[in-house]
Structure 1
Amino acid sequence: MRTLILSDLHLGNGGPYDIFAGAAELPTLLDSFTRTPTHVVLNGDSFDFLLNDDPLTVDSERTLAQARALVTSAQTAPSLQALGRVLAAGGRATMVVGNHDLELALPEVQAVVRGALGQPANVASRLVFRDGTEPLLLEVGGARVLVTHGEHNDVANRIDYGSLLSTSRVGFQYPPGSVLVKNLLNPLKHQHRMRYMDLLKPDFQGAVMVALGVKPDALKVLLTTGTVTLIRRLLENQDLPPAFAIEPRDANMPSEADSQLARTLAEVDLDDEEVEALMSVLDPQALNAFDNPDALGRARLKLCKAGFALYARLHRKVAGTTGTEYFSLEPAKDELAESERLGKKFSHQAVVMGHTHAARWHQGNGRVYANTGTWISLLRLPAPDASDAEWGDYLQELQSNPSLDPSKQRLARVEHRFTCVEVAPKASAPGATLRLAQWKDQGLQTLGSAELPAGS
């Protein structure tokens, strides 16, 4: 059966925090896959249960209310109904749990989602749910394709499935990245209209630094949310056993600790004057920042550039002047290493992930790696060689247009790149064709394609 793989939709509840950008495009894409039976795989973060002000706890009654708000939203419901039409046409669907929708592991939430498909129970039952304790292993035309969301390899967003899936859920804690969203990013968006915070996902550490640079006084909220406890949790989370038994990394590869909030903030090269000026804004008992505005300006610029650098590292190139050629599909070394590890461990010819929001394509060593990208907006950055003055203009625009009003976008502009992976069995021979594609102009445009032989 032909397979369509999507991830990181971040379907929302219609509230002010929503970030899903494909409300018009996704139903049309799904309807285009009703002509022949199709297996739709929604590979993590299909919904976003963090886009609200509720306490961050797995409470059955509250979680059910959140699920109902999500599936009935005017922006979300048409996509779920389109998924139902895929099932009614003889297809099936698999929804993989991600770090933003780990609530999908709960049977009562699964029932709410099936009920929103607009189909009889026997059709809706063709939607199944999977947690991330093991990757999804597909066989299409005899070719083997491994699918996993990817949060298993991200310390800040790794899910403690042992506690989540237990009957009592005693001891379960949300990943540190989720805590940052609730305790920091949501208040920044609500109180200071910093909509661009969401576009920096999933690198929440970078978002913290950008917020410090654009509007440091807004980060006083950070000092009231147990920052020290959060940093400690980020470090302690390194000991959480990852899903499907990751082997120790090679000593020459970047350490997982490099992605931690504490290390990230510490790596920003602020001199003593800049630290003092920044702390005078964050700490009401410190001296007034305007005693040294030059030092504060330098600190803010360094923090913003460091934070955006983490975002740019994920997308490789989110800057430029050549039309829509802002994004590189070539993965970084750590992405390739993990895809190669998984491919070898499970003996699969192709590995498909999500989570990073960065569409990827790579062929090599007899294996294919693809990342399905995201269906939220992406933020264009200044060119890599931009001067401090150009960066200053960019940050000034973010200050004056934090909600990213399209009519006011000049430098800090958003882009959309709705991507997916399609795996189609060959018609006349064993094997399959796997392609990374972008939905554009009412059709799928191929970004990368490979022929996969049937496995032995």
Structure 2
Amino acid sequence: MLSTLRSLPLAFIGACVALIVRRRLHPVRLRPTGETTPPIGPNDIRPGIRRLVLSDLHMGAGDRRDDFSADAELAALLRYYAAEPTPTELILAGDTFEFLQVCLPDVPDREWSPRAAARRLEAILNAHAEPVAALRAFLSRRDNQVTVIIGNHDFELHYASAKQTLRRALGLAPGNPRLRFGVSYEGDGIFLVHGNQFDRWNRFIHFNGICEPFEVVFGTRLIREAINVLEDEPVDIATLIDNIKPLSAIFWYALSLPTLRNQSTRRLVVRGLVLLVNVLLRNTVYILDDDPQQQTPRSLWKPMYRQVALAATLLGRAAGVRQRSGGFPETVFQRAAEHQLRRSIRAFGSTSVHSMARIARDPQQWSTHLFICGHTHLAQVVALNERQTYVNTGTWTDVILDVATSQRQQQRFPYLEVTYPAQGSPPHWRLLVWREAGESPSPWRDERATTMLEKVEYPV
């Protein structure tokens, strides 16, 4: 099986060029629908109230693909703040719900509709009844508010049917403003987005709402057609696949494993490589209808071809060595894969910082002090300059830092608390880590040896 991969790079580039040329000559036109979600601007924001920001909960349907296991911890945090009289806004900053990994017998995986969105969300809410009850308790205080920012994994929240499903689960009447949805949040010294628009794998042409046909970005297609399939494999590492970030480096993680000597692990890697090539070849190029500039996303195939071709070449070389020597050349993989892995992690971690730094340089953002996003799953604090700060609120799912040693992120439940010492003053913020009921949250610690500021500069 491995020997067949030695010819994959040439075959892949030929098929890739042919298919992509054809698709670029005939891109799919997107027509925006009425299923939209507006940004939340300064006029929509109550000034001076306490805000809590959590991101990337990824609550699923309670099955094997559901990566969220912190129901008790999340419920305890919500009750902790609900018990205090201070008016508080809870901002769920994207990917709160894992629509893409909800597979139901009565809803085809490729169905994108109001019915499908509502059914998937119902399954999620039923699987996580304890946090839902805690959200209801949080909203029982009439001065509290919940704001849901839409991310790439819960893009189906644009459907009015999904919004109403969540309102109903929280005991709110239709249109109740204490639960609201947005694609961004800007005001009171804060600029907040989920962050997927900074990621070429998950960047939408039309992020403000649903289009016809439904816009399926590369990251969505990868999860639906590859990750969900791989997670069903009877291999220990398969259950960790969706906990590895960046997802683009997943094969470098796999190729660096000592367990690659195991035949079942090699089979998983090869199958994943084939699925990735298939998803890449079938990726759709979109054009927004009535867009005079005919904007298209940056090409994915060039950088992805380099990674896939290199991985295939490594496997092909290993097959040759194995045939000649009878042994599996573990070091060939580990050295090359570890180098590529480090490059991928650095690039993924810095993209959001660079993008937010560009936004901060805009003169219209000079009065904004705090730039917040999630998406990368890695909590991070970077001083953009002497008065503006970038904060990534991380994730509440399990993050695998090193697959070979099963090293996991220790500070598992990060969140941002924002307060205002006085009316009209700049926001005072703390990146905290929730522990458990009965214990006060602790300050988040930057566990990296160096900071981003030591590696890059952000002129403002």
TM-score, with normalisation over the residues of structure 1? 0.71
Q: Equivalent of 1:359, from 372, 379, 383?
A: 379
1:156 and 1:260 in contact (8 A); partners too = no
Aligned to 1:277: 318
Q: What is the aligned partner in structure 1 of residue 450 from structure 2?
A: none
Q: Does 1:43 align with 2:93?
A: yes
Which secondary structure state, in structure 2, belongs to the residue aligned with residue 10 of structure 1? Answer: coil
In structure 2, the partner of 1:328 is none
Q: Structure 2: which 5+ runs fail to align?
A: 1-48, 447-460
**Kept in 2: contact 1:180–1:204 (CA 8 A):** no
For residues 395-453 of structure 1, the C-alpha deviation after alignment (integer angstroms, 9 at most, x for no partner) is 4xxxxxxxxxxxxxxx313334211111111147733311211112532222389xxxx
Which amino acid counterpart does residue 340 of structure 1 have in structure 2? A
Structure 1 unaligned regions, length at least 5: 246-254, 281-287, 316-330, 382-393, 396-410, 450-456
Q: CA separation in 2, counterparts of 1:336 and 1:88? A: 37
Query: SS of 1:342's equivalent?
Result: helix
State the partner residue of 1:15: 63
Secondary structure of the residue aligned to 2:152 is: coil
Aligned length: 369
User: Structure 1: how far apart are the matches of 2:360 and 2:241?
Assistant: 34
Q: Which moved more, 1:258-267 or 1:417-426?
A: 258-267
Q: Which residue of 1 aligns with 2:361?
A: 344
What residue is the counterpart of 1:217 in the other structure? 267
User: Structure 1's 307 and 68: CA in aligned 2 closer, same or farther, altered over 3 A?
Assistant: farther
Correspondent of 1:446 among 434, 443, 446: 443
Q: 1:432 to 1:297 in 2, by over 3 A?
A: closer
Per-residue CA shift, 1:315-337, capped at 9, x if unaligned?
9xxxxxxxxxxxxxxx74x4432
Spell out the pairing of 1:150-229 with structure 2 (5 A cutoff).
150-161=195-206, 164-166=209-211, 169-170=212-213, 172-193=214-235, 194-201=238-245, 203-211=246-254, 214=260, 215-222=265-272, 225=275, 227-228=277-278
1:57-97 deviations in whole A, cap 9, x for unaligned? 41333332211101110xx2221222222222121111111
Indicate which of 191, 201, 205 corresponds to 1:146. 191
The structure-2 alpha-carbon separation of the partners of 1:435 and 1:226, relative to structure 1 and needing over 3 Å to count, comes to closer
Residues 228 and 146 of structure 1: is their aligned pair in 2 closer, same or farther, counting only changes over 3 Å?
A: same
Change (3 A) 1:14 1:218: same
Q: CA deviation at 1:15?
A: 0.7
RMSD value, Cα: 3.5
Contact 1:7 1:46 in 2 (8 A): yes
- Matched letter for residue 196 of structure 2: E
Q: Is the contact made by 2:222 and 2:279 (CA closer than 8 Å) also made in structure 1?
A: no
- Measure, in 2, the Cα distance between the counterparts of 1:45 and 1:107: 17
Moved more, 96-105 or 80-89: 80-89
Give the Å deviation of 1:146: 0.3
Cα contact 1:211–1:218 (8 A) shared by 2: no
Distance in 1 (CA, whole Å) between partners of 2:353 and 2:124 is 34
Separation of aligned partners in 2, 1:130 and 1:275: 47
Q: Is the 8 A contact 2:153 2:220 kept in 1?
A: yes
Contact 2:393 2:416 (C-alpha < 8 Å) held by counterparts: yes
Identity score, percent: 23
Counterpart residue number, 1:52: 102
Structure 2 SS opposite 1:158: coil
Q: Which amino acid aligns with 2:57?
A: L
- Per-residue deviation, residues 296-350 of structure 1 (Å, max 9, x unmatched): 53444346525643675379xxxxxxxxxxxxxxx74x44322221223341221
Instruction: Tell me the SS of whatever aligns to 1:356.
Output: coil
> Which structure ranks higher in relative contact order (CA pairs < 8 Å, sequence separation ≥ 6)?
2
- Which residue of 306, 313, 323 corresponds with 2:346? 313
Letter in structure 2 aligned against 1:138: G
Cα–Cα, structure 1 residues 9 and 260, in superposed 2: closer, same or farther, change >3 Å?
Answer: farther
What amino acid is the match of 1:82?
A
Between the aligned partners of 1:444 and 1:291, the Cα distance in structure 2 is 58
1:101 to 154, 161, 174: 154
TM-score of the aligned structures, taking structure 2 as reference length: 0.70
Paired with 1:223 and 1:413, the residues of 2 have a C-alpha distance of: 24
Residues 1:2 and 1:296: Cα distance change in structure 2 (over 3 Å): same
